[in-house]
């Protein structure tokens, strides 16, 4: 297309287009290069470094990026520098919020550990000819009766106030009950769900906690001094809930596999002996990796926690609260909303468990382990002064 034709089609003065073609005028991003604190090469290196620090779980902030820029340019950036920098590189960077990650989890979830775990699991399943319908994941979760104080990010419809009251805080009523109930959940790779177990804090079970529905839909219900499981309660759950329900789906002659976190109260000699009698094997996740590898952690407990908090808020708005008398009934309702066959199958796939696939994880997952790795992972254009 000729310059005359292009100018007519895009409604640009022909002289402007002609000057640009002859190099008389530079593009906007080139024209202002002389006004930028950093050279193009320095900015490219800084973008790479921001990407690397984000992957490793140590992203820069408005406050911490300033000294980095000053070291490169010799001048501390002004308040408008960061918005303009992010706008220039909006396809690669943005200003956002993060979630906290425990240091041990960051270190332990690394390429070698994860690939070794999947290799051993795959070999173990093949050697023992374990079908996927026999592969279970079990874990326990503390559920706060009052829903917890975690902000779920919801926005509320609030009334506008007069000028004098403009800065006053808007409040939302919530439960102050911080008592925890331990809930035990078990799911398998084909989407089956076992009856949940419950451990309350107390000395003895109360008859008023039970209804006909609870008798049908709940598994073991127990009490302990602190509301947590112990060796005795774990064995009781294993004998009365896990073994009967897992054997109900057993393919004749095939072993059953339970994958869990290997907590001390789980793998006691009594449980191991009882499991051996019933041809049940155990396989533990590598330590501090369940936030990525365990289906219950990745795709179930988070959703239950969110829905539980919303339900507690709904009841609070009606002037009602959760007690031991209505906890199980309410949890069963939330659980039904949160756990489906399809979502469970999906979370086994998302965690690389079924089908076994360590390649579901990439640099975004392994990045936080790079700071303690023996291999170098820094960008090739590591910024220097």
Range name among 21-35, 60-74, 195-209 with the lowest pLDDT average: 21-35
- Does some domain include residue 255? yes
The residue behind tokens 């991003």 is: 29
The pLDDT assigned to 382 comes to 56
Q: Residue 201: beta bridge partners?
A: 224
SS3 328: helix
The pLDDT assigned to 86 comes to 94
Is the distance from CB of 174 to CB of 214 less than 8 angstroms?
no
SS3 365: helix
- Does some domain include residue 88? no
- Does some domain include residue 80? no
Residue 307 CA to residue 310 CA, distance in Å, equals: 5
Percent of the chain past pLDDT 90, that is, above it, reads 55
The pLDDT assigned to 264 comes to 63
pLDDT tens, residue by residue, 305-338: 999 999 998 998 888 899 999 999 999 999 999 9
pLDDT tens, residue by residue, 54-77: 877 788 899 999 998 998 888 999
- The average pLDDT across 239-251 equals 95
**Residues spanned by the domain of 304:** 129-150+174-354
- Does some domain include residue 17? no
DSSP structure class, residue 221? E
- Does some domain include residue 347? yes
pLDDT above 90: residue 35: no
DSSP structure class, residue 152? -
- The average pLDDT across 43-62 equals 85
- Does some domain include residue 191? yes
pLDDT above 70: residue 99: yes
- Does some domain include residue 206? yes
CA 21 to chain centre: 51
In the chain, the number of structural domains is: 1
The pLDDT assigned to 316 comes to 87
pLDDT above 50: residue 272: yes
Alpha carbon separation from 185 to 111, 132, 242, 324, 351 (Å, rounded): 29, 18, 10, 19, 17
CATH number, domain at 278? 3.30.420.10
- Axis crossing angle, helix 62-73 with helix 40-55, rounded to the nearest 10: 140
Strand order in the sheet with 197-201: 221-224, 197-201, 180-188, 135-144, 256-260, 280-284
The encoded tokens of residue 287 equal 């330590």
Give the pLDDT band of residue 385 (cuts 50, 70, 90).
very low
- The average pLDDT across 159-182 equals 71
- Does some domain include residue 266? yes
Residue 124 CA to residue 118 CA, distance in Å, equals: 10
The pLDDT assigned to 328 comes to 95
Element at 273 (helix H, strand E): helix 269-277
The pLDDT assigned to 11 comes to 73
The encoded tokens of residue 32 equal 């202002």
The pLDDT assigned to 171 comes to 66
Alpha carbon separation from 279 to 243, 268, 375 (Å, rounded): 10, 16, 42
């Amino acid at each position: 297309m000729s310059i005359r034709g292009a100018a007519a089609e895009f409604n640009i003065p022909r002289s402007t287009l002609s000057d640009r073609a002859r190099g008389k005028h530079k593009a906007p991003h080139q024209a202002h290069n002389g006004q930028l604190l950093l050279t193009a090469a320095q900015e490219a290196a800084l973008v790479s470094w921001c990407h690397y620090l984000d992957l490793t779980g140590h992203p820069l902030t408005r406050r911490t990026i300033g000294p980095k820029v000053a070291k490169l340019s010799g001048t501390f950036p002004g308040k408008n520098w960061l918005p303009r920098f992010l706008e220039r590189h909006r396809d690669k960077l943005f200003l956002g919020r993060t979630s906290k990650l425990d240091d041990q989890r960051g270190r332990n979830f690394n390429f070698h550990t994860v690939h070794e775990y999947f290799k051993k699991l795959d070999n173990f399943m093949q050697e023992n000819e374990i079908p996927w319908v026999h592969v279970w994941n079990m874990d326990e979760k503390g559920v706060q009766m009052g829903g917890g104080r975690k902000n779920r990010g919801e926005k509320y419809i609030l009334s506008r106030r007069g000028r004098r009251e403009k800065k006053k805080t808007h409040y939302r009523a919530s439960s102050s009950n911080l008592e925890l109930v331990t809930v035990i959940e078990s799911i398998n790779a084909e989407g089956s769900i076992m009856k949940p177990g419950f451990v309350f804090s107390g000395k003895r079970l109360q008859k008023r906690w039970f209804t006909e529905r609870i008798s049908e839909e709940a598994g073991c219900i127990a009490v302990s001094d602190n509301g947590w499981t112990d060796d005795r309660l774990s064995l009781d759950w294993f004998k009365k809930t896990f073994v009967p329900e897992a054997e109900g789906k057993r393919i004749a002659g095939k072993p059953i596999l339970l994958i869990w976190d290997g907590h001390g109260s789980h793998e006691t000699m009594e449980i191991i002996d009882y499991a051996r009698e019933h041809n049940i094997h155990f396989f533990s996740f590598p330590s501090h990796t369940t936030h990525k590898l365990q289906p219950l952690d990745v795709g179930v407990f988070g959703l239950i926690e969110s829905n539980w908090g919303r339900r507690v808020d709904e009841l609070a708005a009606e002037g009602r609260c959760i007690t031991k008398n209505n906890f199980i009934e309410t949890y069963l309702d939330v659980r039904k909303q949160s756990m489906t066959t399809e979502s469970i199958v999906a979370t086994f796939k998302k965690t690389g468990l079924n089908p076994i696939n360590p390649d579901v994880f990439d640099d975004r997952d392994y990045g936080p382990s790079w700071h303690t790795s023996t291999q170098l992972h820094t960008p090739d254009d590591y910024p220097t002064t």
